[in-house]
């Protein structure tokens, strides 16, 4: 515990020591133009979003490489706007669900269901609505695209925030009550900091999720519309239409540049700054570094400005404070009576029953029960694909994940790689898939399947890495010391140690795979279309045709499969891992 | 010096246990805290002291009875009452200065005023220069100082200390305690009274003007000991020793002291007969007792120190020795019975046999279990069944601990064997058990 430590932690406040390190203001001069440039560029992008537009007029797009920076700008702008909405949604949801028992009972299952609805599902329902909202302007379509991206980002963030709010350390909660923090103060001083680490990781994964469904979000071909918004997603869609391989390659490069940019300029600094919110003390863990944050910390006036803004905000704490004391009656907390909770339960049950009855009637009249059986059959086919592929992915990636996780230096860089790999849209693999299958005359039913798992297998890998890297050092030493060999080592040490992380990863991966099946079982390259028989292909087809009842039915069945899988398989596995594992 | 700052009268509190029934945690607790005094609340873990403290802090409400601060009823946290936590409860992302300013900020005090007050408190508690540090950069003792600074910067009339020194090592805790007492003596501590909750008897005697002994299951004030020594108090003096002795005796004696000071021997022990200490502690204490140093009769505080167990563990071990009829407590001394001497002197075979025998005789739960296992050939009882039946008479928190001890005693005493794979208990057989 040296003086140096203290100075480093307070280096966010300019003081005499900091000023002695660099001449005052030089970093401000370096950083200020960069920041202004970024703001200008963003402003330009925002202006472009609201350009006039009439439904039916095609938007100009070209595969010219010179357009790529502009397209990248539009895409990133969309994704960050969606991310902002996702953050607000996540905290709003978490507040409601964590504070109110009654709300929790309804909200958590709803989120479960929303999570299983594919992006295309949301888009097909909302796109006409959004367009009607802003007639004559491109803003309506932009909103639809942003909303689509939002649905690819928001759900896991909401769960993460909810989890964090429910696991706030009891002593901190007591302290905030004893020192009479008002709800507003407590939210900013306790709830948000506690959820920061989880939220940041989920934000990064959400951005990748946004990329994965980018093509579907920007090249809107639902409900008989065909609008391609300027962006990388549409670029890829156009490249696929025109069978332009080099354009696909350029798209990949641009994606890589985009991800690197926002990783270095946004996420990395945030993660480095948010390190102080981690309160599990890792033994000797290296703090994450960010050059961008270091540059920022070396500025003088910019930092003052930033701190000034924060101080201004903190002024709100003074305004929204607890104005009563514990000795006055209004302080009494009202706990709703027991029978209110029962009444609420009954109400929810009745609503659910009514909804089911109405649904069955609707399905019967619009679609017919034979179709339902057919859809269920397709669902089973996709289920088989997902299960087999997840099993293969587990067998491949678990050993690799464990090896990486036990090697801290390699594990450190895995976070950056994770972002890129998880973001890689399956659409970019279409040419390989189509060309490969046609050339070798393969059965699409089998050989389109790897596309499903392509984007989601990384969840397994990275969760196993995370699990392996938290294996206590003593356990490793004990295993070495006892000379555990091969199969015993796996049975007694490796597998039980990473089992919970593996289950988390596999759960996320299967959920994502169901979603991915929609863009993986129905593949186009130019005018060639390949189709595998399955629920994903069904939904994709119905979406292009704009057949609402069948879209809803397909999505509903997919939800049932996902949720059923979760409850009956993953939950059981979690409980098993808690009870003690004996392989 | 007679304005009661805190007044509790006939306070009752019960919690719902897992099976829906009510478990009484506090029963008819009467308590007064006056201005200018330090009161210690002693009792074993789980005796409801924390619950009582939280009722005073306004975090929980009592089921019945009166809870008053300066004559007004308490409905929630009050400005004049502040608390220091056992595990410090510092916000890890706030610096020392920001942590100390927390309560002031919540009250809407202006930034410059708060900064000044916080600085003063930090200086007072001895953390000058560390204002910008984050909690994870500080040692345990320093963190608790921050916790204290945070509480006293609000100038509370009552300062509640919830096992404030328990998470610190012995020397750091003593040092911090002495600093606080020094501030109190000189009048520099900006608070009017202290309530110190602790399970450390010596700490209580060193600090308090009054010590209240709390019994558990259900919790009530069992005994009050006024401590009229001048401060500063020297730790190893005869007066301190005598007081510690008194308190030990009170805590391990099962008699009830009635309102008029008479002892009542007629009532059954307050504690239900379940094991509270593990076999190693019992054996260790017994061995110590028949040591040449004590020869079967030891002054309680002396053997507590010699046994090198924590206060809680020591009291548990003493109570179990008494339960097993290996020792008795009389006049502030622990005295080995004949049975106990044989136990202490015996080899491991003999000890196992004796422990098994006594456990069967004195612990109804174990004898019931044994009888049931004997009732049918190769009968097995599952852990879950035992957990359930324990849950009928014990707190949820105590059930797991007690079950572990029951199983340990029973296997040690060669009464039963365990199968962890299927989680069942069965009768011990002389033939070698399968691997």
> What's the DSSP call for residue A277?
G
B132 touches chain A (CB under 8 A): yes
Would an 8 Å CB–CB cutoff place B421 in contact with chain A? yes
Residue A261 Cα distances to A31, A38, B142, B326, angstroms: 16, 12, 42, 75
Distance from CA of A561 to the nearest CA of B (A): 33
From chain A, the residues in CB contact with B134 under 8 A are: 9, 276
> For residues A290 and B93, what is the distance between their CA atoms, to the nearest angstrom?
19
The Cα-based distances of A493 to A480, A498, A501, A570 in angstroms read: 11, 9, 14, 21
Helices (H), strands (E): how many in chain A?
Answer: 29, 4
Note whether B253 and B373 are same-domain residues: no
Beta strand extents in B129-185 (DSSP E only): 158-162
pLDDT digits (tens, 9 = 90+) for A69-103: 888 999 999 999 999 999 999 999 999 998 888 88
Residue A185 has pLDDT above 80, yes or no: yes
Residues of A in contact with B129 (CB under 8 A): 6
Tell me whether residue B273 is in a domain: no
Length of chain B: 435
Cα separation, A225 vs A223, whole angstroms: 5
Q: Where does the pLDDT of residue A284 fall: very low under 50, low under 70, confident under 90, or very high at 90 and above?
A: very low
B349 within domain boundaries: no
Per-residue pLDDT of B206-224, as tens digits, reads: 999 999 988 776 678 888 8
Q: Please, what is the average pLDDT of chain A?
A: 81
* Final residue before a domain boundary, out of B236, B257, B278: B257
Cβ atoms of B322 and B55 closer than 8 Å: no
d(CA A528, CA A537): 15
Smallest Cβ–Cβ distance between A326 and the set B58, B111, B129 belongs to B58
Residue of A nearest to B97 (CA): A10
Task: In whole angstroms, give the CA distance from residue A270 to residue B415.
Answer: 61
Q: Which helix (H) or strand (E) holds B120?
A: helix B111-125
Q: Please identify among residues 193-252 of chain A the ones whose CB lies closer than 8 Å to any CB of chain B.
A: 193
Determine, for residues B78 and A327 on separate chains, whether the beta-carbon distance falls below 8 Å: yes
Report CB contact under 8 Å: B108, A321. Answer: yes
Cβ within 8 Å, pair A178-B77: yes
Question: Sorting pLDDT into bands at 50, 70 and 90, what band is A9?
Answer: very low
Please check whether residue B338 lies inside any domain of the structure: no
A179 to B102: CB separation less than 8 angstroms, yes or no:
yes
Domains in chain A, please, with CATH?
64-278+288-322 (1.10.3720.10), 341-583 (1.10.3720.10)
Please report residues of A whose CB lies closer than 8 A to that of B57: 178
Indicate the number of domains in chain B.
Answer: 2
- Cis omega (within 30 of 0) for bond into A311: no
Distance from CA of A276 to the nearest CA of B (A): 5
Q: Is A184 on the interface with B (CB under 8 A)?
A: no
Q: Report chain B residues whose CB lies below 8 A from the CB of A311.
A: 111
Q: Are A428 and A236 in contact (CB under 8 A)?
A: yes
Does A189 contact B91 at a Cβ distance shorter than 8 Å? yes
| Residue B105 domain flag | yes
pLDDT by residue (tens digit) across A459-476? 888 888 877 877 777 887
B249 and B120 together in one domain: yes
- Using a CB-CB cut-off of 8 Å, the residues of chain A touching B132 are 6-7, 9-10, 13
The pLDDT of residue A337: 62
- Which among A13, A175, A326 has CB closest to B74? A326
What pLDDT, in 10s, does the model give residues B383-435?
988 988 888 777 777 788 889 999 999 999 999 999 888 888 988 876 544 44
What pLDDT score was predicted for residue B19? 61
d(C-alpha A323, C-alpha A319), whole Å: 10
Residue B154 contacts A, CB cutoff 8 Å: yes
Please tell me if residue A332 touches chain B, with a CB cutoff of 8 Å: yes
User: Of A541, A545, A517, which Cα lies nearest the Cα of A529?
Assistant: A541
Cα torsion angle, B277, B281, B282, B288, sign: negative
Out of A5, A326, A582, closest to residue B78 by CB: A326
Size of interface A-B (CB pairs under 8 A): 120
Q: What is the pLDDT of residue A571?
A: 75
Distance of CA B141 to the CA centre of its chain: 21
Q: Which residues contact A571 (CB under 8 A, 6 or more apart)?
A: none
Residues 62-81 of B with CB under 8 A from A: 69-70, 72-79, 81
Query: Whole-number mean pLDDT of chain B?
Result: 86
Mean pLDDT of B53-61: 91
Give burial (CB, 10 Å; 0-12/13-18/19+) of B226. Answer: exposed
Which CATH number covers residue B30? 3.40.50.300
d(CA A401, CA A414): 10
Mean pLDDT of A11-36: 64
Confidence class for position B117, pLDDT limits 50, 70, 90: very high
Close Cβ partners of A254 (under 8 Å, ≥ 6 residues apart): A68, A71, A72, A232, A235
Selected residues 136-175 of chain A with any CB under 8 Å from a CB in chain B: 171-172, 174-175
**Under an 8 A CB cutoff, do B75 and A329 touch?**
yes
Residues in chain A with CB shorter than 8 Å from the CB of B72 are 327
Question: Residue A314 and residue B133: Cβ atoms within 8 Å?
Answer: no
A321 CB within 8 Å of a chain B CB: yes
CB distance from A326 to chain B under 8 Å? yes
CB under 8 Å to B212, separation ≥6 — which residues? B31, B39, B40, B41, B42, B221, B223, B224, B225
Task: Out of B217, B233, B257, pick the residue that ends a domain.
Answer: B257
The answer to whether the complex's ipTM is over 0.90 is: no
Tell whether B11 is covered by a domain: yes
DSSP, residue by residue, B119-161:
HHHHHHHT-TT-TT--GGGS-HHHHHHHHHHHHHTT--SEEEE
User: With an 8 Å Cβ cutoff, is B92 touching chain A?
Assistant: yes
For A221-257, the pLDDT digits (tens) are: 766 667 888 888 888 888 888 888 888 888 888 988 9
pLDDT in tens, B279-330: 999 999 999 999 888 888 988 888 888 888 877 788 889 989 988 999 988 8
Q: Do A277 and B54 touch (CB under 8 A)?
A: no
In this prediction, residue A463 carries a pLDDT of: 82
For residue A582, list chain B residues with Cβ-Cβ distance below 8 A. 421
Over residues B258-286, the pLDDT tens digits come to 555 444 433 334 456 788 899 999 999 99
In-domain check, residue B230: yes
Identify all chain A residues contacting B92, using CB atoms and an 8 Å cutoff.
276-279
Confidence of residue A4 (pLDDT cuts 50, 70, 90): very low
Listed in order, strand segments (DSSP E) in A161-223 are 219-220
- Give bridge partners of residue B33 from the DSSP assignment: B6
Q: Does A10 touch chain B (CB under 8 A)?
A: yes
Domain interval for residue B16: 4-257
Q: Is residue B38 part of a domain?
A: yes
* Most confident stretch, A45-59, A407-421, A479-493, B191-205: B191-205
What is the rounded CA–CA span in Å between residue B184 and residue B191?
A: 8
- Domain C-terminal end among B227, B257, B287: B257
| Orientation of helix B238-252 relative to helix B311-323, angle to 10° | 50
Is the pLDDT confidence value at B67 over 70?
yes
Provide mean pLDDT across the span A308-314.
85
Mind listing the pLDDT tens digit for each residue in A519-575?
888 888 878 888 888 998 898 888 777 777 788 788 888 888 888 887 788 777 877
Q: Which of chain B's residues have a Cβ under 8 Å away from the Cβ of A279?
A: 92-93, 136
**Residue A121 pLDDT exceeds 80:** no
Which of B108, B158, B419, B422 to mutate to probe the A interface, most A CBs <10 Å? B108
For helices A535-545 and A369-405, the axis angle rounded to 10 degrees is 120
Q: 3-class DSSP state for residue B92?
A: coil
Q: Are strands A227-228 and A219-220 parallel, antiparallel or unpaired?
A: antiparallel
Cβ contacts of A7 on chain B, cutoff 8 Å: 132
Give yes or no: residues B47 and B181 share one domain: yes
**Interface touch A276/B137, C-beta < 8 Å:** no
What pLDDT does A543 receive? 79
Residue B1 pLDDT level (bands cut at 50, 70, 90): very low
Closest Cβ opposite residue B106 in set A1, A7, A321: A321
| B46 and B195 assigned to the same domain | yes
Report the alpha-carbon distance of residue B90 to residue B112 in Å, rounded.
22
A280 near B CB under 8 A: no
pLDDT above 90 coverage of chain A, percent? 12
pLDDT bucket at A440, cuts 50 / 70 / 90: confident
Most confident residue range from A51-55, A179-183, B211-215: A179-183
Residue B297 lies inside a defined structural domain of this protein: no
Quick one: how far is CA A278 from the chain centroid?
Answer: 21
Contact of B54 with chain A, judged by CB distance below 8 Å, is answered with yes
């Amino acid at each position: 515990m040296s003086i140096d430590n203290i100075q480093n932690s307070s280096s966010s406040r300019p003081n005499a020591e900091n000023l002695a390190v660099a001449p005052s203001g030089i970093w401000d001069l370096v950083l200020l133009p960069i920041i202004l440039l970024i703001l200008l560029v963003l402003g330009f992008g925002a202006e472009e979003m609201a350009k006039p537009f009439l439904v039916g007029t095609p938007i100009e797009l070209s595969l010219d490489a010179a357009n790529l920076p502009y397209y990248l700008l539009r895409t990133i702008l969309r994704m960050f706007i969606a991310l902002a909405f996702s953050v607000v949604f996540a905290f709003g949801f978490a507040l409601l669900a964590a504070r109110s028992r009654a709300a929790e009972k309804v909200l958590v299952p709803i989120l479960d269901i929303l999570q299983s609805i594919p992006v295309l599902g949301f888009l097909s329902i909302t796109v006409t609505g959004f367009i009607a909202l802003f007639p004559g302007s491109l803003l309506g379509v932009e909103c639809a695209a942003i909303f689509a991206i939002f649905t690819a980002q928001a759900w896991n963030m909401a769960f993460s925030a909810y989890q964090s709010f429910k696991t706030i350390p009891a002593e901190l909660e007591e302290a905030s009550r004893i020192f009479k923090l008002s709800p507003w103060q407590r939210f900013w001083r306790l709830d948000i900091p506690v959820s920061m680490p989880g939220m940041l990781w989920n934000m990064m994964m959400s951005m990748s999720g946004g990329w994965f469904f980018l093509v579907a979000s920007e090249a809107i071909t639902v409900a008989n519309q065909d609008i391609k918004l300027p962006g990388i997603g549409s670029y890829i869609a156009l490249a696929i239409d025109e069978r332009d391989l080099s354009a696909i390659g350029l798209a990949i490069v641009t994606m890589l540049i985009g991800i690197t940019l926002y990783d270095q300029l946004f996420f990395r600094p945030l993660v480095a700054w948010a390190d102080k919110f981690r309160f599990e003390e890792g033994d000797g863990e290296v703090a994450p570094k960010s050059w961008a944050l270091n540059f920022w910390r070396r500025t003088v006036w910019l930092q003052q400005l930033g701190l000034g803004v924060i101080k201004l905000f903190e002024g709100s704490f003074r305004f929204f404070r607890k104005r009563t004391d514990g000795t006055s009656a209004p302080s009494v907390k009202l706990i709703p009576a027991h029978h209110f909770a029962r009444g609420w339960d009954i109400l929810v049950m009745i609503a659910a029953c009514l909804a089911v009855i109405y649904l069955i009637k609707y399905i019967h009249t619009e679609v017919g029960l034979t179709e339902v059986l057919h859809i269920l059959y397709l669902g089973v086919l996709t289920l088989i694909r997902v299960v087999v592929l997840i099993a293969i992915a587990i067998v491949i990636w678990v050993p690799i994940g464990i090896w990486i996780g036990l090697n801290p230096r390699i594990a450190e860089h895995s976070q950056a790689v994770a972002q890129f790999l998880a973001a890689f849209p399956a659409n970019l693999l279409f040419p390989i898939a189509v060309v490969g299958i046609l050339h070798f005359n393969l059965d699409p039913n089998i050989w389109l399947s790897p596309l499903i798992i392509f984007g989601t297998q990384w969840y397994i890998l990275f969760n196993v890495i995370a699990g392996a890297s938290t294996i206590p050092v003593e356990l490793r030493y004990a295993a070495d010391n006892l000379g555990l060999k091969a199969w015993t080592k796996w049975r007694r040490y490796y597998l039980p140690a990473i089992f919970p992380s593996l289950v988390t990863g596999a759960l996320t991966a299967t959920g994502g795979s169901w979603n991915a099946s929609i863009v993986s079982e129905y593949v186009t390259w130019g005018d060639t279309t390949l189709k595998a028989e399955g629920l994903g292909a069904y939904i994709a087809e119905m979406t292009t045709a704009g057949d609402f009842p069948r879209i809803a039915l397909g999505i509903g069945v997919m939800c049932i499969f996902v949720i059923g899988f979760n409850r009956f398989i993953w939950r059981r596995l979690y409980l098993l891992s808690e009870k003690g594992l004996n392989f | 010096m007679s304005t009661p700052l805190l007044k509790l009268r006939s306070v009752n509190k019960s919690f719902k246990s897992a099976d829906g029934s009510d478990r009484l945690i506090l029963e008819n607790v009467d308590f007064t805290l006056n201005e200018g005094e330090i009161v210690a609340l002693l009792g074993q873990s789980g005796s409801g002291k924390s619950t009582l403290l939280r009722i005073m802090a306004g975090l929980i409400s009592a089921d019945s009875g009166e809870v008053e601060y300066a004559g007004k009823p308490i409905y929630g946290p009050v400005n004049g009452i502040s608390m220091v936590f056992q595990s410090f409860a510092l916000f890890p992302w706030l610096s020392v200065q920001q942590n100390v300013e927390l309560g002031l900020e919540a009250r809407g005090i202006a930034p410059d005023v708060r900064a000044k007050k916080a600085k003063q408190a930090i200086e007072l508690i001895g953390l000058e220069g560390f204002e910008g540090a984050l909690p994870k950069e500080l040692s345990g003792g320093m963190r608790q100082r921050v916790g204290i600074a945070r509480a006293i910067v609000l100038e509370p009339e009552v300062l509640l200390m919830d096992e404030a020194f328990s998470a610190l090592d012995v020397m750091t805790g003593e040092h911090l305690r002495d600093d606080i007492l020094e501030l109190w003596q000189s009048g520099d501590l900006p608070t009017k009274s202290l309530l110190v909750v602790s399970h450390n008897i010596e700490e209580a005697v060193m600090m308090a003007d009054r010590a209240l002994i709390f019994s558990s299951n259900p919790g009530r004030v069992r005994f009050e000991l006024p401590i009229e020594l001048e401060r500063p108090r020297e730790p190893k003096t005869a007066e301190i020793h005598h007081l510690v002795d008194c308190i030990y005796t009170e805590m391990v004696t099962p008699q009830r002291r009635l309102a008029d000071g008479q002892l009542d021997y007629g009532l059954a022990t307050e504690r239900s007969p379940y094991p509270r200490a593990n076999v190693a502690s019992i054996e260790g204490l017994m061995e110590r007792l028949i040591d040449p140093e004590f020869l079967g009769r030891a002054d309680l505080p002396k053997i507590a120190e010699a046994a090198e167990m924590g206060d809680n563990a020591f009291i548990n071990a003493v109570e179990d020795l008494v339960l097993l009829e290996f020792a008795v407590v009389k006049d502030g001394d622990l005295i080995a019975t004949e049975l106990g001497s044989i136990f202490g002197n015996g080899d491991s075979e003999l000890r196992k046999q004796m422990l098994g025998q006594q456990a069967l005789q004195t612990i109804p739960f174990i004898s019931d279990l044994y009888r049931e296992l004997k009732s049918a050939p190769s009968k097995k009882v599952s852990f879950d069944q035992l957990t359930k039946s324990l849950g009928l008479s014990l707190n949820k928190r105590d059930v797991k601990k007690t079950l572990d001890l029951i199983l340990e005693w029973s296997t040690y005493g060669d009464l039963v064997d365990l199968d962890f794979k299927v989680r069942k208990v069965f009768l011990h057989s002389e033939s070698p058990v399968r691997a």
